[in-house]
Amino acid sequence: MKYLALIFGIVLFASCQKVIDVDLNEANPMTVIEANYTAEDSTVRVYITQTSNFFSNEASPTVDNAVVTITDQAGNSQQVPFDAAGWYVLTNYVPSYETTYTMTVLHDGVTYTASCEMKTAIAQQPVIYDFVEPGIFGDGGYIVAVSYQDPPEAGDYTSAVLSKNGNQLKKLSDVTLNDDLFTNGNQVTRPLFVRFFDLGDTVEIELRTIDQKIYDYYTELASLTDPNSAAPANPTYQWTNRALGYFSAYSSSRQSVIIQ
Amino acid sequence: MKYLNTFLLLLLSSASIAQTYTISGTMKDSTNGEDLFGGVVVVKELSNVGAVANAYGFYSLSLEAGSYTLLYRASGFENKEVVIDLKANLTLNVELSIPKDVLEIEAVEVTGVKENDNITSSGMNVTTFNPKDIETIPVIFGEKDIMKTLQLTPGVKSAGEGNSGFFVRGGGADQNLVLLDEAVVYNASHLLGFFSVFNSDAVKDVALYKSGIPAEYGGRASSVMDVKMKDGNNKNFGVSGGIGLISSRLAVEGPIVKDKGSFILSGRRSYLDVFLKLSKQEDIRNTKLYFYDLNAKANYKLSEKDRIFVSGYFGRDNFGFSDQFGFDWGNATGTIRYNRIISDKLFSNTSVVFSNFDYRFTIGTGDDAFGVNSSIQDWNVKQDFSLFANKNNTVKFGFNGMHHTFKPGALTGGNDSFNELILDSRYGIEVGAYIQNEQKIGPRFNLMYGLRYSGFNLVGGKSYTFDDDGNRLTETTHERWESVKYHQGIEPRLSLSYVLSENNSIKLGYNRNLQYLHQLSNSTTNSPTDVWVPSSNNIKPQIGDQLALGYYQNLKKNAYRISTEVYYKTLQNQIDYRNGANLLLNNEVEGELVYGKGRAYGIELLLEKKKGKFTGWISYTLSRSLRTFDQINDGKEFSARQDRIHDVSVVLMYSITKNLAFATTFIYYTGSAVTFPSGKYEIGGEVIPLYTERNGYRMPDYHRMDAGLTWYLKDKKRFEHNINFSVYNLYSRQNAYTISFEENSETGETEAIQTALFKIVPSITYNFNIK
């Protein structure tokens, strides 16, 4: 709605923008843990950084001296060894589906814990695409759609991640989240209205089956990028002791298509 | 029952047993026959004895037999004296006339009667205006607007730049009961708030109750804004109107049968889109952006004792982008009223009221088109009585029942990629009953005390229960009239004034208000898409309690008024949202809500000059408005968005000559509370802002000056006209509308970008009136 008001202002009365000084507080640094356990390649990847000042131009400081441990549902723990510059990687860690994994990160005397259920992948059907005429949604182009048979029991949460010509589109706005609230058990074909593609592009869709917590987390994260929000707040903490970030264990299925 | 006994006791204690007779009748404006709501009749020989005309101009006064001089008066009218020898019941219909010019108002002063009703009345904090009062006050686009002028008074804050939405004493924008001829107006703004829905040609007057709210009003937690439409001239036909840069108005009024009935029809349309057609850019040429509204009212006197009124409002906003996107919204209201003077002491009014608000989106064309629509609709039946019991007591009582239909939204049409989604309709029955007495005790005490009972029954539809995280636990489908949840409560209301002398008084007000309907909005600006939801098994009614104390003084023969008011208000069952809440097209929207409490307090100072060539006021408000929610800001109290600590308004009006009036306003307020990041971090390589507290920052302070010049062109006998020049934001201050943080693509640095909606906005309006 603010946009309408702005259109009104801009069109008629030359509303004006300028850069101003805003004095922002400097929050104490907080730990940010991005942890992914990917079933597809049986690898745990953890990236630990710290928050920085909002106007800072430097890259987020990394945390290299944490102790990262992953524990399976049976209670067997394994350390995720430090790799380089904030990264901790554990390979050949074979997933057990429909079980819960717990991760702990010990840093500066504080232990951060989060857990996540590893879901079974949902098989994808071939990617379909369609041409969209230019219009208010943009310049037009090809839109791809993900298709799959939603499992019969309710509570399936997915995210669809696109790759274009071999490059993954990592931006939050390029990821489509889906729940099965209205589609449980159905044959689902969902157009991914995030990006237009051109003739000749190779488009791959990775359909991740994620825990509901991660679905909620990404939904909240996406709302932070909405400038209309009256009262933005940090997403619900996924880690104990208020570390930012998340721990997601997920499995994937892939399909790709060449647009022609 | 306990309350009722006390009430009756109070009433009876002051009843007199001597032989009394009743003088009753109506008070009207002599030029057009409009009822004088709030007109006063006092007895010159007696101290603190008189009556106030009700909303239909009816008054009644019972006195012991004898000779009296009755003095009739109303704000802006010449006083009228009537000498009577009271030996039997008497009907006196009185017409007051408007003084020819300002000087004569002062001449009226010579009669020796003080215009000090503000000191002696029991009701505190009632701010009243009629469009004539505010004619010269400059407003944006030159369109005089009662809602924007109200924002210049203490305790009332604008919802934003040029916005007709408002906050009263720290309450939310949805906590104001906005009534147009008794019909609730759910969205009182046009063009996203730049205009209010109230066309000043059609409005007789507006009253804003900030505290000590009379018991006849209920349904919102913070304030009541009661707008009354003109009845129409029952003596002569007239045409009036105005032509402005952005919109034009036309009104026709006249008698149906002279002195028996009249009508008024007024319309308004904006024509921004006409200018858009001149643009070089095709996109802009194809943009639609306009609103229109129509007000109609008619009344007819069936007999000396019976009168009917029919009034209605219909308004619509239209926004569109070629044929691909359309968005329109609007209110429709209708009121049928039947007045009956049952006896010379008892007046009855029966109303049937309809109100509807809806919006519609359409996207795309042809087979692919799809749309979203949503509405809220009310039917209300209302019975009110005024009993002028004796010279010391005026009792008002009544009841009403209202049926609400909520259609939160439907997504319809479209091709196969969209499934039709029709959200469940919900229904509510809201009832109210009240009794209130205005009582005079001795020469110094004036009391108004009352009780309101209100209840809300959510019936039919589906209900849900949720766990602490907002996940659905159960879903239940109810029969159409099956009760889902009944909420009820007692709302005590009290105002009392103690007159220290004829020039000063102190007043106290207390009110409790229950609110059963709640508006959900997660954006910073008012929007037609904000959803109204009823109280339910999950949502409790909002409760507002307010205690206010005021001191009032008139100086220099009532030429100056000073008032100081302090208040403390608590709000229970306030509503906010979970992170990432989805309020649109969500059947389980209640799962997205969290509940908390609020409080607001402040002091309001007002210096007003009412008479002379130079009039106006200066107001200063120091106030806070705070909220506490377990789930927000770690449970710590935080500022509400409208927590503007300092608020100053200056309004100066000066009659340069008989034909030239100048007015200027100045506004300053502390920037609204806002949430800004206090750090950042990266997720998947993307920068995410880090927040440490809710509303912990402030927008830059807001200030602005406007000026206007009204030139009254030479009057003919039956023709008046004037030209109004106004300048909004005289010194072109860029007041922040939004602040966003963006990366500068050249330097890579993050910058704070402030957007201001308007710089200086000049306008010109021509107004005319053919009588």
| Helix, strand, coil % over all residues of chain B, rounded to 5 | 5, 60, 35
**Angle of CA points B654, B657, B658, to nearest 5°:** 105
Chain-chain contact of B761 with A13 (C-beta, under 8 angstroms): yes
Question: Which pLDDT score, from 0 to 100, does residue B168 have?
Answer: 93
For residues B713 and B303, what is the distance between their CA atoms, to the nearest angstrom? 41
Q: Which residues 113-152 of A have a C-beta within 8 angstroms of B? A: 135-136
Question: Which distant-in-sequence residues (6+ apart) come within 8 Å of B8 by Cβ?
Answer: none
pLDDT in tens, B155-209: 898 887 767 788 999 998 889 999 999 999 998 888 777 788 898 888 988 889 9
Q: Which amino acid is present at B99?
A: P
Query: Do the bridges between strand A99-107 and strand A67-71 make them parallel or antiparallel, or are there none, so unpaired?
Result: antiparallel
Structure tokens at B524: 């910073």
pLDDT of residue B108 exceeding 60, the answer is no
Question: Which pLDDT score, from 0 to 100, does residue A135 have?
Answer: 62
For residues B96 and B26, what is the distance between their CA atoms, to the nearest angstrom? 11
Q: Which of B680, B693, B742 to mutate to test the interface with A (most CBs of A within 10 A)?
A: B680
Q: Which of B278, B683, B732 to mutate to test the interface with A (most CBs of A within 10 A)?
A: B683
pLDDT in tens, A74-96: 989 999 999 989 999 999 998 89
For residues A118 and A89, what is the distance between their CA atoms, to the nearest angstrom? 18
Chain A CB contacts of B422 below 8 Å: none
Question: Which distant-in-sequence residues (6+ apart) come within 8 Å of A136 by Cβ?
Answer: B321, B324, B325, B363
Chain-chain contact of B691 with A32 (C-beta, under 8 angstroms): no
Chain-chain contact of A15 with B193 (C-beta, under 8 angstroms): no
For residues B188 and B167, what is the distance between their CA atoms, to the nearest angstrom? 13
Chain A CB contacts of B319 below 8 Å: 4
For residues B263 and B254, what is the distance between their CA atoms, to the nearest angstrom? 6
pLDDT of residue A183 exceeding 80, the answer is no
pLDDT in tens, B424-457: 889 999 999 999 999 988 888 888 999 999 999 9
Give the pLDDT band (50/70/90) at residue B5.
low
Question: Which pLDDT score, from 0 to 100, does residue B104 have?
Answer: 35
Nearest residue to A100 via CA among A74, A130, A132: A74
Query: Do the bridges between strand B166-168 and strand B176-180 make them parallel or antiparallel, or are there none, so unpaired?
Result: unpaired
| Better-scored residue on pLDDT, B617 or B129 | B617
The order of strands in the sheet holding B66-73 is: B50-52, B40-43, B66-73, B80-86
pLDDT of residue A258 exceeding 80, the answer is yes
Chain-chain contact of A17 with B697 (C-beta, under 8 angstroms): no
Question: Which pLDDT score, from 0 to 100, does residue B99 have?
Answer: 66
Chain A CB contacts of B526 below 8 Å: 1
| Better-scored residue on pLDDT, B749 or A119 | A119
Question: Which pLDDT score, from 0 to 100, does residue B112 have?
Answer: 32
| Better-scored residue on pLDDT, B46 or A126 | A126
Question: Which pLDDT score, from 0 to 100, does residue B423 have?
Answer: 82
pLDDT of residue B109 exceeding 60, the answer is no
Q: How many CA atoms lie within 13 A of B55 on its CB side?
A: 24
Cα of A63 to nearest chain B Cα, Å: 13
Q: CB of B189 within 8 A of CB of B165?
A: yes
Within 10 A of B374 (CB to CB), how many other CB atoms are there? 22
Average pLDDT, chain A: 85
Question: Which pLDDT score, from 0 to 100, does residue B443 have?
Answer: 82
Cα of B338 to nearest chain A Cα, Å: 41
Within 10 A of B1 (CB to CB), how many other CB atoms are there? 5
Provide φ and ψ at B166, rounded to 5°. -150, 160
Question: Which pLDDT score, from 0 to 100, does residue B456 have?
Answer: 96
Q: Does A191 touch chain B (CB under 8 A)?
A: yes
Q: CB of A177 within 8 A of CB of A216?
A: no
Closest in B417, B577, B700 to A191, CB measured: B417
ipTM above 0.90?
A: no
Within 10 A of A7 (CB to CB), how many other CB atoms are there? 17
Chain-chain contact of A136 with B758 (C-beta, under 8 angstroms): no
Q: Which of A12, A131, A193 to mutate to test the interface with B (most CBs of B within 10 A)?
A: A12
Closest in A51, A172, A228 to B684, CB measured: A172
Q: CB of B508 within 8 A of CB of B448?
A: no
Question: Which pLDDT score, from 0 to 100, does residue B205 have?
Answer: 85
Q: Which residues 50-89 of A have a C-beta within 8 angstroms of B? A: 50-57, 60
pLDDT in tens, B57-76: 899 888 888 889 888 888 77
pLDDT of residue B111 exceeding 50, the answer is no
Q: Please state whether the predicted TM-score (pTM) of the whole model is above 0.80.
A: yes
Q: Does A228 touch chain B (CB under 8 A)?
A: yes
Closest in B272, B681, B748 to A57, CB measured: B748
Closest in A14, A15, A220 to B580, CB measured: A220
Chain-chain contact of B680 with A224 (C-beta, under 8 angstroms): no
Question: Which distant-in-sequence residues (6+ apart) come within 8 Å of A14 by Cβ?
Answer: B759
Chain A CB contacts of B761 below 8 Å: 13
pLDDT in tens, A114-158: 999 999 888 899 988 888 777 655 677 888 888 888 888 878 899
Chain B CB contacts of A224 below 8 Å: 688-689
| Better-scored residue on pLDDT, B338 or B576 | B338
For residues A141 and A129, what is the distance between their CA atoms, to the nearest angstrom? 10
**What does the DSSP 8-state code read for residue A29?**
P
- Could you identify the residue written with the tokens 């927040």? B691
Provide φ and ψ at B367, rounded to 5°. -65, -25
Chain-chain contact of A191 with B681 (C-beta, under 8 angstroms): no
Separation of CA B624 from chain center: 22
Q: Which amino acid is present at A73?
A: Q
Q: CB of B197 within 8 A of CB of B356?
A: no
Nearest residue to B502 via CA among B550, B566, B557: B557
Q: Containing H/E element for A220?
A: helix A212-224
Q: CB of A257 within 8 A of CB of A202?
A: yes
Length of chain B, in residues? 771
Q: CB of B756 within 8 A of CB of B735?
A: yes
Summarize the confidence of residues B676-691 as an average pLDDT. 87
Provide φ and ψ at B176, rounded to 5°. -100, 125
Nearest residue to B185 via CA among B526, B576, B536: B526
Summarize the confidence of residues A161-181 as an average pLDDT. 86
- Could you identify the residue written with the tokens 């503007």? B644
Chain A CB contacts of B528 below 8 Å: 1
Q: Does A12 touch chain B (CB under 8 A)?
A: yes
Question: Which pLDDT score, from 0 to 100, does residue B449 have?
Answer: 93
Chain A CB contacts of B245 below 8 Å: none
| Better-scored residue on pLDDT, A139 or B19 | B19
pLDDT of residue B514 exceeding 80, the answer is yes
For residues B88 and B93, what is the distance between their CA atoms, to the nearest angstrom? 16
Question: Which pLDDT score, from 0 to 100, does residue B135 have?
Answer: 77
Q: Which of B275, B467, B688 to mutate to test the interface with A (most CBs of A within 10 A)?
A: B688
Closest in B275, B279, B676 to A24, CB measured: B676
pLDDT in tens, B452-485: 999 999 998 889 999 887 888 888 999 989 999 9
Closest in B417, B419, B689 to A182, CB measured: B419
Summarize the confidence of residues B204-232 as an average pLDDT. 91
Cα of A234 to nearest chain B Cα, Å: 6
Q: Search chain B and give the residue with CA nearest A235.
A: B579
**What does the DSSP 8-state code read for residue B140?**
G
Question: Which pLDDT score, from 0 to 100, does residue B53 have?
Answer: 87
Q: Search chain B and give the residue with CA nearest A20.
A: B752
Question: Which pLDDT score, from 0 to 100, does residue B159 have?
Answer: 82
pLDDT of residue B152 exceeding 50, the answer is yes
- Could you identify the residue written with the tokens 């019941």? B89
Question: Which pLDDT score, from 0 to 100, does residue A225 have?
Answer: 67
pLDDT of residue B102 exceeding 70, the answer is no
Q: Containing H/E element for B698?
A: strand B697-698
Give the pLDDT band (50/70/90) at residue B29.
confident
Question: Which pLDDT score, from 0 to 100, does residue B106 have?
Answer: 34
Question: Which pLDDT score, from 0 to 100, does residue A136 have?
Answer: 56
